[in-house]
Structure 1
Amino acid sequence: MTSTPPRISLPHGPEIRRLIVGLWQMADQERDGKPFDLDRAAEVLVGYARAGFDSFDMADHYGSAEIVAGMAHRALREAGETPPTILTKWCPAPGAMGMDVVRKGVETALERLGLDRIDVMQFHWWQYAHPAWLDALENLMRLREEGLIGAIGLTNFDAAHLDLAAKSGIEIATNQVSASVIDRRALGAMSEVAAAHGVGLLAYGSLLGGFLSGRYLGAEDPAEISDWSRMKYRRMIEAAGGWERFQAVMAALGGIARRHGVSLSNVASRWLLDQPAISALIIGARLGESEHRADNLRVFDFALDAEDRAALDAALAGLDPVPGDCGDEYRKPPFLTASGDLSHHLDSLPPVYPVTAAPARPGRQRVESGSPWEAVAGYCRALRNGNRILVSGTTATDPHGRCVGEGDAGAQAVYILDKIIAAITSLGGRAEDVIRTRIYLVDLDDCDAVCAAHARYFGEIRPANTLIGIAGLVGPYLVEIEAEAEIG
């Protein structure tokens, strides 16, 4: 019988447990000023570590999680015991990400933890259209060289932007994403990209906040839900087809659990741990209220056989795919969050680019992206005239004048399309307002990669499009894209 969760070595990071203690429910435990005993919580967390559950996941917005984890870390050090592995997150609002901003974010976490080094700093970015996320990651790389962090992780990045980050020279240890038998988005393109770059996927939501447990097998759809975790995952269940179809999956899980003499949660966890790209599961803990360590360990004492997999596959075939890619629930509707929007996280998302009046014609507005070519050649990134927005031919030039995704047309297309969306939204439009795009491609062998990127952004919008093969572009650019949008 397994006594502690096994460890796994990350190619670009530390050794971690395959079951990580997740502390995000601490934010719910402290909600609305509810009294919460930090000393008692730290004692409980020390108990987890001594039982072999010594990889802790937290974030800057999980209430007092970093403080409590730091207290547990200190208690174990002072007792001469091995301290836990700390994985925390930095989730800044979109804006400039100079070294001063990034250093402050890391130092704030270090101060709350009472440490001089974070094992894994996981970075979340709310808005890919804002290009400063690459600046943030580059500065995190520099802070890793200084020794303030051991490894860089991502949180809720989609496959395209994980790929772009890795191809931009960022060494990524992990990407933490929602994954479960219900939410299988991470098992497609994300798994392929992660494997290609040696990135370990950390799965949160693997038990849907407790919905994937025997308690809910055959249960009625709960009329009221009080905690944030289940509020969020009830939305996930609805996105996958609703409570009735969810119960069909629960019945299959329950049958497999009875065959093996384990819990329904064990079966759901075992299935996910068997997915090749999944390095570890993050199992949420409500410190001081309940704990399921002994049951969780049983996931390592049995294996799913062909009959089990066939039964589960048949039930899963009745679900709808959760829409979008990993992390989309935090970036565009439907927002599969506790509140159904981003109100628990951000007040608003300001325009990426400042809007100025176009002096040549009253009523026109324009934006500039900061590309040095705009000033050199005398043009703007996009111009709004009435309800029409015209976006200039755009390459993967960042605000510092560098080519992003050099040598990879697909990666360049992702960065370009983010810039185009940034320009359109800054001028009051939306991606859905795009009515035409034009793609200029240096090498037609790159057609598939660039078209796949275009489809990720516009596959449901279906604007008119023209793709043109050209002799070349100035500099190391492989693709240029322009767009037109009409508001209203």
Structure 2
Amino acid sequence: MTIPTLQLNDGRTIPQLGFGVFKVDPAETERIVTDALEAGYRHIDTAAIYGNEEGVGAALAKSGIARDELFVTTKLWNDRRGETAAREALGESLQKLGLDHVDLYLIHWPTPANGSPVETWRTLASLRDEGLTTSIGVSNFDERFLPEILETGIVPAVNQIELHPQFQQRAATELSAQHDIKVEAWGPLGQGKVDYASTVVGEIAERHGVTWAQALIAWHLQSGRIVFPKSNRRERMEDNFAAASVQLTAEDVAAIDGLDQGAAGRVSADPAEVS
């Protein structure tokens, strides 16, 4: 199966469906990422704070997959701000991953309590220009925090935000779209905190003969978002990967769109409160 790719505003491309390793036990990461690669995933999303970059790197090294067939994302944690700290942090991540560059490097959270992210953001642009990361972006920068980044004139390629049917972040996604910033949905299935199987999602899934998770992944893909569901189970990884072949109708997509609850639908942390 061929996973669709999206064109980023910097001219690069990104696989639209990837595999996330948030909360994956570092001791199990190599095995789990190996399973994901064998299932067909080529886009892996990790972060320094996850503590499992070394496991990701070990799986990549042992896979035998050519580097140019892989897309690897990692993220700068909140305590590494400013030019020196950001440079050192990416260097540490590259060492753990066993790579000479990542494909996408993100500021993990805006952390307003830590001051302006502008110097750090400009440093990411320098790291990109030096070839240590191919593309740069931000994570959790909603409509309150993205404007300060845009004012630098350095436009992120990606904005990775919590997004699932009951929390669709319309203001953030619209602002991102205005600047051709691709949106990546984290927590795309609601992080196990929302019973989507009992909503219209379950009805749509039954009509198409797929799981509710496959229906949701298909909704994300058909809505033009990048999505990277996570699972520790090989069978579930394969099911999620197969969702790329599921075709929902326009009516199905509209019905799932109708589940949005705005800010009340958030199930994780508010970026304004994360430091």
TM-score normalised according to structure 1 size: 0.51
* Counterpart for residue 86 of structure 2: 102
Q: Report the equivalent of 2:173.
A: 191
Deviations 1:424-467 (A, max 9, x none): xxxxxxxxxxxxxxxxxxxxxxxxxxxxxxxxxxxxxxxxxxxx
* Equivalent position to 1:255, from 203, 207, 214: 203
Tell me by how many angstroms 1:145 deviates: 1.4
- AA aligned opposite 2:17: L
What SS class does the counterpart of residue 262 from structure 2 fall into?
coil
Structure whose alpha-carbon radius of gyration is higher: 1
- SS, match of residue 229 in structure 2: strand
Alignment partner of 1:273 out of 177, 197, 221: 221
CA distance in structure 2 between the aligned counterparts of 1:322 and 1:250, rounded to whole angstroms: 21
Residues 85 and 311 of structure 1: CA distance in aligned 2, closer, same or farther (over 3 Å): closer
Equivalent AA in structure 1 for residue 221 of structure 2: L
Alignment partner of 1:203 is 2:151: no
Which residue does the alignment assign to 1:356?
A: none
Cα shift at 1:283: 0.7
Distance 1:47 1:255 in 2: 30
Query: Matched residues in 1 for 2:221 and 2:16: separation?
Result: 8
- 1:74 is the counterpart of 2:61: yes
Once the two structures are aligned, what percentage of the paired residues are identical?
A: 27
1:300, 1:148 → 2: CA distance?
30
Structure with greater helix percent? 2
Find the counterpart in structure 2 of residue 16 from structure 1: 14
Write the mapping of 1:223-302 to structure 2, written as runs, cut at 5 A. 234=193, 237=194, 250-276=198-224, 278=225, 280-286=226-232, 289-302=233-246
Query: Secondary structure of the equivalent of 1:157?
Result: coil
Aligned residue identity for 2:12: P
Displacement after TM superposition at 1:291 (Å): 3.9
> Which residues of 2 match residues 378-457 of structure 1 at below 5 A?
none
Query: Over residues 162-202 of structure 1, what are the superposed CA-to-partner deviations in whole Å (9 max), with x where a residue is unaligned?
Result: 233123122311111011112111xx221222122121111
Is the contact made by 1:4 and 1:52 (CA closer than 8 Å) also made in structure 2?
A: no
Distance 1:156 1:80, change over 3 A: closer
C-alpha contact 2:40 2:241 (8 A) present in aligned 1: no
**Cα distance in 1 for residues equivalent to 2:266 and 2:251:** 30
Shift of residue 80, structure 1, vs aligned partner: 5.6
Shift of the 268–12 alpha-carbon distance from structure 1 to 2, 3 Å rule, reads: same
Q: Kindly state the Cα deviation for residue 324 of structure 1 after the two structures are TM-superposed.
A: 9.4
Contact 2:73–2:102 (8 Å) recurs in 1: yes
CA pair 205-44 structure 1, distance change in 2 beyond 3 A: closer
* 2:180 corresponds to 1:180: no
Q: Work out the CA distance in 2 between the residues paired with 1:196 and 1:60.
A: 30
Distance 1:10 1:306, change over 3 A: closer
> What code does the residue aligned with 2:140 have?
N
TM-score, length-scaled by structure 2: 0.86
